[in-house]
Amino acid sequence: MLALADLINLDLSDSTEKIIAEYIWIGGSGLDMRSKARTLPGPVKDPSELPKWNYDGSSTGQAPGSDSEVILYPQAIFKDPFRRGNNILVMCDAYTPAGEPIPTNKRHAAAKIFSDPSVAAEETWYGIEQEYTLLQKDIKWPVGWPVGGFPGPQGPYYCGVGADKAFGRDIVDSHYKACLYAGINVSGTNGEVMPGQWEFQVGPTVGIAAADQVWVARYILERITELAGVVLSLDPKPIPGDWNGAGAHTNYSTKSMREDGGYEIIKKAIEKLGLRHKEHISAYGEGNERRLTGKHETADINTFLWGVANRGASIRVGRDTEQAGKGYFEDRRPASNMDPYTVTSMIAETTILWKP
């Protein structure tokens, strides 16, 4: 008896050279992800080999109904962990038919910054810690939490083990392996301080590729939660009160910072970030004021401070960096719902290109 799973897992390579390409883009909210599939005549290795495509922007809040066509430009390719074989996921950005980036296309501006010779020469490395919360589908309450009630206080859940501490590990491990299969440089994962909340890390990855990988990792995670019947939340403070929020701490270094004497370069970069604190905060995610309160391992949203090994700071420098005199720093301000194209390129622009 043929089962649905047999067809879902059908290996096309036995009967055809054709492949399926899932084109992915960012919708009108700037956070929602959309995708649709098309058949291609054979395997593809580079985005330049892929055709542009279009979609109905009036149905995603990105174009009026009278002129609804939006054009997808393929930008990055990943192996498809759902269809497997030679099938691919394609990260795209969106343009008008005239070739102008639409307002929600943040990749276009980021690419300009990362292609600047001064930025390219510095080989910017990023490590992004994406926190998220898993919610019960029908009531939008964290998985593992009693309906209408609360679990025990925070303490045992961070990196916790056990049925009363770790909720959703099957989703987390599935996502971890699927990302590695896809070619995303996921470097780790862990349970977070609030129960039902988890984190995965992407990096170190160079330049705009870091943002591409975070977006596709988010896409893969949402596809897995779809299969599991739970809801993915990137809200920076999903539960009010004495519960940790969710961020996207962004670790960063340049070639100069990683070389001898780099600690002085790091301190100068942090000084520049402090001078543009308000601009960065305004671009670091919606609802971040609910998270950056000065409590729960955050600095107050209106205050800029940095320190060594200080998780209550805006910018944290690791002990190993201080001792080695070179390395990287962590910007702890970005919210979990930040746009990685905006955050990564803005950090590079401020620390390398901006002149106070």
Structural domain spans, the chain: 4-104, 117-353
The CATH code belonging to domain 117-353 is 3.30.590.10
Fold of domain 4-104? Ubiquitin-like (UB roll) (3.10.20)
Quote the pTM value.
Answer: 0.96
Average pLDDT rounded to a whole number, residues 50-61: 97
**Which pLDDT score is estimated for 52?**
98
Sign of the alpha-carbon torsion through 87, 180, 344, 124: negative
Q: How confident is the model at residue 224 (pLDDT cuts 50, 70, 90)?
A: very high
- Give the long-range contacts of residues 289-295, CB within 8 A, separation 24 or more: 290/236, 290/237, 290/240, 290/245, 291/236, 291/237, 291/245, 291/246, 291/247, 291/335, 292/333
Query: CA angle, corner 322, sides to 350 and 122, nearest 5?
Result: 35
Per-residue DSSP letter, 320: H
For residue 328, CA distances in Å to 127, 308, 319, 320 come to 10, 11, 11, 9
> Per-residue pLDDT tens for 190-214?
999 999 999 999 999 999 999 999 9
Is the pLDDT score of 19 beyond 80? Answer: yes
Query: For the purposes of burial, counting CB atoms within 10 Å of the CB of 228, is it exposed (0-12), middle (13-18) or buried (19 or more)?
Result: middle
Per-residue DSSP letter, 141: -
Is the pLDDT score of 5 beyond 90? Answer: no
**Which pLDDT score is estimated for 311?**
83
Is the pLDDT score of 228 beyond 80? Answer: yes
- Convert 31-56 to b/e letters by CB count within 10 Å (16 or more is b): eebbbeeeebeeebeeeeebeebebe
**Strand 88-95 to 19-26 pairing:** parallel
Is the pLDDT score of 327 beyond 90? Answer: yes
Q: How confident is the model at residue 296 (pLDDT cuts 50, 70, 90)?
A: confident
> Per-residue pLDDT tens for 125-165?
999 999 999 999 999 999 999 998 999 999 999 999 999 99
Average pLDDT rounded to a whole number, residues 233-260: 97
Distance of CA 93 to the CA centre of its chain: 15
**Which pLDDT score is estimated for 356?**
85
Average pLDDT rounded to a whole number, residues 77-95: 97
Is the pLDDT score of 14 beyond 90? Answer: no
**Which pLDDT score is estimated for 2?**
73
Q: How confident is the model at residue 75 (pLDDT cuts 50, 70, 90)?
A: very high
Q: Phi and psi at residue 184, in whole multiples of 5°? A: -85, 135
Is the pLDDT score of 1 beyond 80? Answer: no
> How many contiguous H segments (helices) and E segments (strands) does the chain have?
10, 13
Q: What is the mean pLDDT of the chain?
A: 96
Q: How confident is the model at residue 9 (pLDDT cuts 50, 70, 90)?
A: confident
**Which pLDDT score is estimated for 297?**
83
**Which pLDDT score is estimated for 143?**
97
Average pLDDT rounded to a whole number, residues 56-64: 95
Q: How confident is the model at residue 7 (pLDDT cuts 50, 70, 90)?
A: confident
Q: Phi and psi at residue 191, in whole multiples of 5°? A: -70, 145
> Per-residue pLDDT tens for 262-294?
999 999 999 999 999 999 999 999 999 999 999
Distance of CA 259 to the CA centre of its chain: 28
Residue, of 296 and 118, whose pLDDT is higher = 118
pLDDT cut 90: percent of the chain above it: 92
Domains 4-104 and 117-353 share a fold: no
